[in-house]
Amino acid sequence: MSVRRKARETALQILYRIDISPGSSAEDGLDDLLPGTEARRYCETLVEGITSRLPEIDATIDRHSANWKVGRMGVIDRNILRIAVYELIYSKDVPYKVVIDEAVELAKRYGSEESGAFINGIIDNVRKSEREAG
């Protein structure tokens, strides 16, 4: 598994925990999941970036998801989308195709049967309007 894929997977686990247990810290259990590695550094970048820009990221998702507001989405789908939107907008070094592929892979692994297509559609909409505009 690539360093960034492991970081994204761990970020998903941490964001999930924060989402279902308000008051949880991003650091809770991080040492067990990724002790002092390059993946840990990227995971920390993702989690800190997402949590510090959460209202903006969620608003971006809301703008690009027809009939599905962030609050109505499943916790897994919502957090995969947050990771992908963060990478699309704030991590310009990550090609958009990689962002989409990684998000869909996480969705297939952790989401529902429909998660991959759902996430792919929203992320592609975000890419078309946000990344090309910036």
DSSP 94: S
Confidence of residue 134 (pLDDT cuts 50, 70, 90): low
**Structural domains of the chain, ranges and CATH numbers in brackets:** 3-133 (1.10.940.10)
Q: Is the pTM of this model over 0.85?
A: yes
Cβ count near 52 (within 10 Å): 11
CA distance 8 to 22: 21
Mean pLDDT along residues 91-99: 91
3-state secondary structure at position 79: helix
pLDDT, residue 23, reads: 74
pLDDT, residue 22, reads: 76
pLDDT in tens, 42-82: 999 999 999 999 999 999 999 999 888 998 999 999 999 99
Cβ count near 42 (within 10 Å): 20
Q: Which whole-number Å values give the CA distances from 45 to 105, 116, 122, in the listed order?
A: 20, 24, 23
Mean pLDDT along residues 123-130: 89
